[in-house]
Amino acid sequence: MASDSLVSIVVTLTPHPDKLDRMLIVITQCIDILKEAIRIVRNTEPGNLRYHLNVEMKGDRRGESIVFLEDYENQAAWDNHCQGEAYDYMTKTFADEDILAKTPSLVFIKPLAGWTSR
């Protein structure tokens, strides 16, 4: 992957069945950390172009996984994100509390066709 290329990632976190609610609380706390320091985050992660938190849906019911859709300006921006406070907090808490049922799935993707908005 070229260092100046857009980095797009789909990250899927699958908790143990009885820990999905706890995972959502941890993620919310991370979001709260980012909200409290939004000015700092914007200044320290200028290459973070998209960071969408989603919950898997099965019909009209919540599924078993949390899915992040992320875009970074380049590899350096992705690396910077991985060294951030919220990232550290989430990974440490998930490990300490044995929240994840399996290793997170990181799928690096490259857009082929489509649009973001009209």
Mean pLDDT of successive 10-residue stretches along the chain, which has 118 residues: 76 89 81 56 75 80 82 92 82 87 92 81
Residue 37, pLDDT score: 45
Residue 54, pLDDT score: 81
Residues written for the chain: 118
Rounded Cα–Cα distance for residues 106 and 104 (Å): 6
- Are 100 and 15 in contact by the 8 Å Cβ rule? The answer is yes
Residue 75, pLDDT score: 93
Taking Cα atoms as reference points, which of 104, 49, 109, 47 lies closest to residue 79? Answer: 47
Q: What is the DSSP string of the chain?
A: --TTS-EEEEEEE-B-GGGHHHHHHHHHHHHHHHHHTHHHHHHH-TTEEEEEEEEEEETTEEEEEEEEEEEESSHHHHHHHTTSHHHHHHHHHHHHTT-BSSPPEEEEE---S--S--
Residue 10, pLDDT score: 93
